[in-house]
Structure 1
Amino acid sequence: MSSRPAAPSSSPVPRTALLVVLVAAMGVGPILNYGLSAVSPLIIEGLGISQSQFGLLAGAVFASAAVSSLSLGRLSDRATTRQQLLIIFGGTVVALLVAAVAGSFWVLLAAALLAGPAQSISNPTTNRVIVTSVPQRRRGGWIGIKQSGVQASQLFSGLFFPAVALWLGWQGAFGLAAVVAAGLLVFALAQVPAEAPRPRTTASRSSRGRLPFPVWLFAGFAFFSGLGMQATNVYLPLFAVRELDFPLVLAGAAAGVSGVVGVSSRIVWGRRMARGARPSGLLLVLALGAVAGVACLLAAGAWRTPALVWAGVALHGATVLGANVITNAAVLVVVPSERIGAASGVLAMGMYAGFALGPMLMGVLADATGAFDAGWLAVGAGYLVCAALALWLRRYGATHPWSAFQR
């Protein structure tokens, strides 16, 4: 496996505005699904749907993202940054507008399907921008900050949607969110200069050959951690309302707190990677911490103890929400620069497949059992698989002379 030399010290320092664009590009795509979660009791009551149908909405977003990840990942190796930003921000605006006029489950399902591609290309796009614009010594930190855009979106949605829904209704909240996303699109296009598309020959060469085996281990970790992450993100407000009698706004705030902790944790994990920490060790710590967080949520429901919800939320934000930082930063090291888009697409496919399955599994188990206990147990089992994959990655790295695993 080839590795890239560090960027020369004379490399220009990238502008802060570019980092803001990357954070926004990561955060805008999930606004729809975080919004669905934040006002889930209103949507379920207003449309008269079941918990499993609601889980299908969140699952549809990520199934659509998973299906489009590989092709859009390859596209990111040749399309201009502006073209990709139009897909990310413009696709989100369209999805939010469709949700704003949704009067039935099927229209809301269509909005969910439209939101998927905007999310699936965000990691390949932002990873490529970092590889081409940021000196190597700073890439880990930039990865951590730009990935925190997802949790910033979770925080925004947890506070924005319940508050606006009480004023304009849940459909009005999605309409106003579309205006916010359109404003971010204008800002992003203003900050990114025009550029020529990369030649197709480069993209063709980059699609040949096998990706390094660790990419697939990272994708497996992304799948199982994504399953638990989105099952928790989507159903946490509903769990808090139904199992612990939280008011809607307080339940949304719980998701927001997870986002706040997640923003900080992603920056911290990104800095750890930048300082040379082993990906396998960090991923093992995250997996075990995530198991502890699920145990807190399970105990909170069993004992009706709100304090354990907040403990579980904090552990969720501090651990599993940081996994994408580590896997994305590691991919930048183990994969040649001309294949970043393709490798990021594989990683995104695993993550979004997990994102799709998690909410559907949680919804089905909640409907079948009348409680969330079985769902939390399934999430915890997924995190244990993550721990096993981290150990496999550690063992594999010990026998292969790759800088990503020997640092």
Structure 2
Amino acid sequence: MGLSMMHFFLLGALGPRLVESLSLSPTLLGLTTTVSCAVATLVSPLSGRMVDQAGPKRSLVVLMTTAAAALLLIGVAPGPVVLLASVALGGLAQALANPATNKAIAADAPVERRALITSVKQSGVQLAALIVGLPLAWLSAAAGWRAAMWVMAAVAAGAALWVTLALPGDRPEQAPASRTRLLPRGTVVWLLAFSVPLGAGIACVNTYIALFATEKLGLGNTEAAALVAVIGGAGIIGRMACSRAARSPRRTRQLPALLLAGSVAATLLLVFAAQLSPLIWCAAAAIGLCAVSVNAVTMMLVLHHSPPERAGRDSAMVSAGFFAGFALGPPFFGLLATSGDWTAGWLLVASEFTAAALLATTWVLRDHA
């Protein structure tokens, strides 16, 4: 999970260095997220079917090999064209991540442990943010941002080799489930719907918080990259806490609305950080605890309802909504950031989290009706 999103966090945390090195505008920096996540959105339905047919081991090998190639190409990119092509390749890895890992959990994990295991594996995404914001930020300061990309490309290639040699082979696909066991269509629609504004808000924060810190608050590049680490560390804590709270499908359905309300408040702290800069650290921690935990809860809900043979496809459909939001959010924020109107940008993020909260609340109320 961490390797599938590593290029995304690296581009966000090292954004100020890339803007200077490759002469990128804030809008073009946001376009890297849009391209990567647009590819992930389009490919997700196909990737889910592929995972269900090929099995999690083969899918993980493809995922890690693709992630390694994307990171390597970003590291040698001479300009925006190659950079955008490289992040498009990274989108393929993103599309495989949730289907492959959820397929493995649905196939092998006991039902009573799935919430905990799902939280652990979703925390891999935030572990990537933590690694990017601390050791890789220091490495980029000492050896350049390209070195950070190449190191993680080597890690991804090594992970692909380890999976190939160490994990047992995929089992033959089970017979298709009956219609009564399939994930209810209404549940898919609701999870996909609120994942779109959720993804838009999270993408804006991850892509632009470091650039905001350097341009508006005067933080250094390494210190600004540490904000991504704060989001990642808090996200791990939040996702693990959700596994304890989500002990039943009914309780799990109530969590997204509560977490999204906290996300709105956290985003408003970013607005006030322009006047009181220490608030940015509080905002980063709160966004990690609340906003980035919601996607872990949605994956728990998928696994609560999906039979093992459908886990890949159902996970991919919900992930497609999340990645669509990732693709849509940063370009609009980038236009505001380019004009210097950071306040309007953070208010846009707050409105995206608010929309997601309203959809999640409506779903819960509908469920109780």
One fold, TM greater than 0.5?
A: yes
1:292 match: 265
Say if 2:88 is the partner of 1:113: yes
Deviation at 1:82, TM superposition (A): 2.1
> Could you list the runs of 5+ residues in structure 1 that have no partner in the other structure?
1-25, 400-407
Distance 1:195 1:33 in 2: 29
CA RMSD of aligned residues (A): 1.8
1:271 match: 244
Task: Tell me which of 202, 206, 216 is aligned to 1:229.
Answer: 202
Distance 2:72 2:306 in 1: 38
2:4 match: 29
Distance 1:29 1:116 in 2: 8
Deviation at 1:276, TM superposition (A): 5.5
Deviation at 1:197, TM superposition (A): 4.7
2:116 match: 141
Task: Tell me which of 289, 298, 305 is aligned to 1:327.
Answer: 298
> Retained in 1: the 8 A contact 2:262–2:290?
yes
1:381 partner letter: S
Distance 1:112 1:395 in 2: 39
1:348 partner letter: S
Task: Tell me which of 210, 213, 234 is aligned to 1:240.
Answer: 213
Distance 2:188 2:241 in 1: 22
Say if 2:258 is the partner of 1:258: no
Task: Tell me which of 309, 314, 317 is aligned to 1:343.
Answer: 314
Deviation at 1:153, TM superposition (A): 0.4
2:355 partner letter: V
1:229 partner letter: I
Identity of aligned residues (%): 32
The 1:377–1:91 alpha-carbon spacing in structure 2 relative to 1, beyond 3 Å, is same
Distance 2:114 2:125 in 1: 18
1:310 match: 281
Say if 2:358 is the partner of 1:388: yes
> Retained in 1: the 8 A contact 2:249–2:304?
no
Spell out, residue by residue over 1:226-260, the C-alpha distance to the aligned partner (whole angstroms, 9 max, x if none): 11111001111111111111111111111101100
Distance 1:274 1:237 in 2: 36
1:23 match: none
> Retained in 1: the 8 A contact 2:41–2:324?
yes
Distance 1:137 1:180 in 2: 33
Distance 1:195 1:326 in 2: 27
Spell out, residue by residue over 1:295-331, the C-alpha distance to the aligned partner (whole angstroms, 9 max, x if none): 0001102x1x222101111110010110011111111
1:190 match: 165
Distance 2:94 2:259 in 1: 23
Spell out, residue by residue over 1:97-143, the C-alpha distance to the aligned partner (whole angstroms, 9 max, x if none): 11111101100101100000111111011111111101000000001
Distance 1:281 1:57 in 2: 33
Spell out, residue by residue over 1:189-223, the C-alpha distance to the aligned partner (whole angstroms, 9 max, x if none): 33320135527x749x88x9884202211111111
Distance 1:337 1:392 in 2: 28
2:139 match: 164
2:347 match: 377
Normalised to the residue count of structure 2, the TM-score between the two structures is 0.95
2:357 partner letter: A
Normalised to the residue count of structure 1, the TM-score between the two structures is 0.86
SS at 2:78 equivalent? coil
Distance 1:181 1:146 in 2: 16
1:192 partner letter: L
1:12 match: none
Distance 1:331 1:355 in 2: 20
Distance 2:101 2:31 in 1: 28
Distance 1:116 1:313 in 2: 25
2:54 partner letter: A
1:81 match: 56
